[in-house]
Amino acid sequence: MEKLVIEFIKHIRQYSTLSNEAENAIVALARNETLAKGTILSKEGKTCKHLYFLKSGTVRTYFYQDGKDITHWIYPKNNMVTSWHSYLSQTPSKDYIETTEISEVISLTYTQWQELYTTFPELERFGRLLIEEQMALIDDFYKGYYFLSAKEKYQLLIKAIPNITQIANLGHIASMLGISQETLSRARK
Amino acid sequence: MEKLVIEFIKHIRQYSTLSNEAENAIVALARNETLAKGTILSKEGKTCKHLYFLKSGTVRTYFYQDGKDITHWIYPKNNMVTSWHSYLSQTPSKDYIETTEISEVISLTYTQWQELYTTFPELERFGRLLIEEQMALIDDFYKGYYFLSAKEKYQLLIKAIPNITQIANLGHIASMLGISQETLSRARK
DNA sequence: TGTTATTTTTGACTTATGTCAAAATCTACT
DNA sequence: AGTAGATTTTGACATAAGTCAAAAATAACA
């Protein structure tokens, strides 16, 4: 089990150089979990308190709009996952986060991170670079998005998450792209 | 002119406590400019090197898709502005940034910020909080966006930028929302 | 291996929004 | 104030994508 945290440390090291003290602090605080398929990590109305590192498995974030289940994003393994708006502003979430297959996650809470940021500047750097990366991805992905046809949207997603068809079903992918399942089915031919 | 930098310092102070040394460093590096309407701050193909604080005026970011001018976002005064993907990754931009009226901006370069981050932890905190705020805004704004009707999209924008009709014309707003100008014109009645 | 459940595809029809073009309104400058 | 330019609105029509429903394909499981 402890091995999982080491994977997370390795991940952080890709962003910022870690002192031994910072590493020890993270190892001491991090929670390791192996989660069954369908586990809910965060739900609507609750403030998302955790920032997760998904070591293995797949996670889907979704919300309900007019009673319909809309996929927000699908996260393959080795990604940082949370309900960004809720986590960053510590206000109630509109999202659900669920595992769509058996998954291993390492997590710390928002409060723990705030303390780590103050104590270890190199972790504050990690925090900054992490969000910057997410921001750059989003800024790029959605540029001109709504002027694309259903087919072009699908192609863009394939480029962003090549194995998306292996880790998510059509309905989830379609709602993530903002198109109907039927249209997506027709588009990919 | 120097007064402008003070406004920027005030802005930073809303995010992080500044030491005198950090404040002096920013004052020494910051560039103040008053820009005529239509000034291009960054263009397609070039790497966006500056992070701007828009003290007064209005800025529009846009790009070309199939030869059409698509507005990415409109920034009212007192906002931090840059071409996020290009600035954060220091790679060539797809965006243009232009003032749509006479504007005052204070700016530092990406390189300057990297040095400031390393020297002053409180500025690294500012950098982190700034990008976190942007991220939370985007995450919230676009949630379920493409399942909204033209009218609902417009209402969402009004909520995000109440004075948008004063600072941008219909065509710019429409392309920003991903709808045609005609549809927007009909929707807002 | 047969049966049931789930997911994906296909078909028929509807609709919101796009496109092109012209008219109307607003804005700015001499 | 009057003219030219830019912006917004209106009209007519085309079309991509939505919806509802059923069939086909795939996966799950006894």
When scoring A61, A87, A122, A128 by the number of chain B Cβ atoms within 10 A, the one with the most, hence best to mutate, is A128
Mean pLDDT (whole number) for A132-150? 91
B127 falls within a domain: yes
Judge if A125 and A147 occupy the same domain.
Answer: no
Residues 57-116 of B with CB under 8 A from A: 63, 65-66, 68, 70, 72, 84-85, 88-89, 94-95
Sequence-ordered list of residues with C-beta below 8 angstroms from that of A53, at least 6 positions apart, any chain: A7, A8, A11, A79, A80, A81, A105, A106, A107
Which pLDDT band holds residue A66 (cuts at 50, 70, 90)?
A: confident
Question: What are the start-end ranges of the H helices in A14-147?
Answer: 20-29, 84-89, 110-119, 121-141
Which pLDDT band holds residue B5 (cuts at 50, 70, 90)?
A: very high
pLDDT in tens, A120-138: 999 999 999 999 999 999 9
Give the span between the Cα atoms of A185 and A65, in whole angstroms. 22
What mean pLDDT value characterizes chain B? Answer: 95
Q: Are A124 and A17 in contact (CB under 8 A)?
A: no
Give the span between the Cα atoms of B44 and A10, in whole angstroms. 36
Mean pLDDT (whole number) for A78-94? 97
Judge if A93 and A15 occupy the same domain.
Answer: yes
- From the Cβ of A125, is strand C under 7 Å away? no
Q: How far is the CA of A172 from the C1' of C8 (A)?
A: 13
Judge if A147 and A75 occupy the same domain.
Answer: no
Judge if A62 and A154 occupy the same domain.
Answer: no
DSSP helix/strand/coil, B103 = strand
Percentage of chain A exceeding pLDDT 70? 99
Give the span between the Cα atoms of A130 and A72, in whole angstroms. 19
Chain B hits for A135, CB-CB cut-off 8 Å, are 84, 88, 131, 134-135, 138
Mean pLDDT (whole number) for B157-182? 95
Give the span between the Cα atoms of B89 and B123, in whole angstroms. 19
A56 falls within a domain: yes
Tell whether the model's pLDDT for residue A176 goes beyond 80.
yes
| CA neighbours closer than 13 Å in the CB half-sphere of residue A57 | 24
Nearest to A5 by CA among A81, A98, A107: A107
Q: Are A10 and A3 in contact (CB under 8 A)?
A: no
Answer yes or no: do B138 and A134 touch at CB < 8 A: no
Give the span between the Cα atoms of B67 and B146, in whole angstroms. 23
B115 falls within a domain: yes
Q: How far is the CA of A78 from the C1' of D28 (A)?
A: 29
Tell whether the model's pLDDT for residue B167 goes beyond 90.
yes
Rg (CA), chain A: 17
Judge if A103 and A125 occupy the same domain.
Answer: yes
Which pLDDT band holds residue A143 (cuts at 50, 70, 90)?
A: confident
B171 falls within a domain: no
Domain that holds residue A168: 142-189
Q: Are A51 and A87 in contact (CB under 8 A)?
A: yes
Judge if A151 and A125 occupy the same domain.
Answer: no
A135 falls within a domain: no
| CA neighbours closer than 13 Å in the CB half-sphere of residue A125 | 21
B27 falls within a domain: yes
Tell whether the model's pLDDT for residue A68 goes beyond 60.
yes
Tell whether the model's pLDDT for residue B2 goes beyond 80.
no
Judge if A20 and A103 occupy the same domain.
Answer: yes
The beta-carbon neighbor of A124 closest among B128, B131, B135 is B128
Q: Return phi, psi of residue B59, to 5°.
A: -125, 145
Q: Are A62 and A96 in contact (CB under 8 A)?
A: yes
Judge if A82 and A169 occupy the same domain.
Answer: no
Identity of residue B89: S
DSSP helix/strand/coil, A134 = helix
Residue B173: predicted pLDDT: 97
Strand partners, B40: B98
Judge if A103 and A150 occupy the same domain.
Answer: no
Give the span between the Cα atoms of B189 and B185, in whole angstroms. 8
Q: How many other CB atoms are there within 10 angstroms of residue A104's CB atom?
A: 18
DSSP helix/strand/coil, B51 = strand
Mean pLDDT (whole number) for B130-155? 93
CATH at residue A110: 2.60.120.10
Which pLDDT band holds residue A1 (cuts at 50, 70, 90)?
A: low
Residues 122-141 of B with CB under 8 A from A: 124-125, 127-128, 131-136, 138-140
Give the span between the Cα atoms of A161 and A176, in whole angstroms. 12
Q: In angstroms, how far is the first alpha carbon of chain A from the final one?
A: 44
B151 falls within a domain: no
What mean pLDDT value characterizes chain A? Answer: 95
Q: How many other CB atoms are there within 10 angstroms of residue A120's CB atom?
A: 20
Residue A142: predicted pLDDT: 86
Sign of CA dihedral A74, A115, A136, B105: positive
Mean pLDDT (whole number) for A37-48? 95
Residue B143: predicted pLDDT: 85
pLDDT in tens, B34-43: 999 999 999 9
Percentage of chain A exceeding pLDDT 90? 92
Which pLDDT band holds residue A4 (cuts at 50, 70, 90)?
A: confident
Percentage of chain B exceeding pLDDT 90? 93
Residue B186: predicted pLDDT: 96
Q: How many other CB atoms are there within 10 angstroms of residue B172's CB atom?
A: 19
Q: Are B106 and B5 in contact (CB under 8 A)?
A: yes
- From the Cβ of B109, is strand C under 7 Å away? no
Residue B189: predicted pLDDT: 82
Give the span between the Cα atoms of A86 and A90, in whole angstroms. 5
Domain count, chain B: 1
A98 falls within a domain: yes
Residue B1: predicted pLDDT: 52
Q: Are B7 and B14 in contact (CB under 8 A)?
A: no
Residue bearing the bigger pLDDT, B1 or A175: A175
Mean pLDDT (whole number) for B160-186? 96
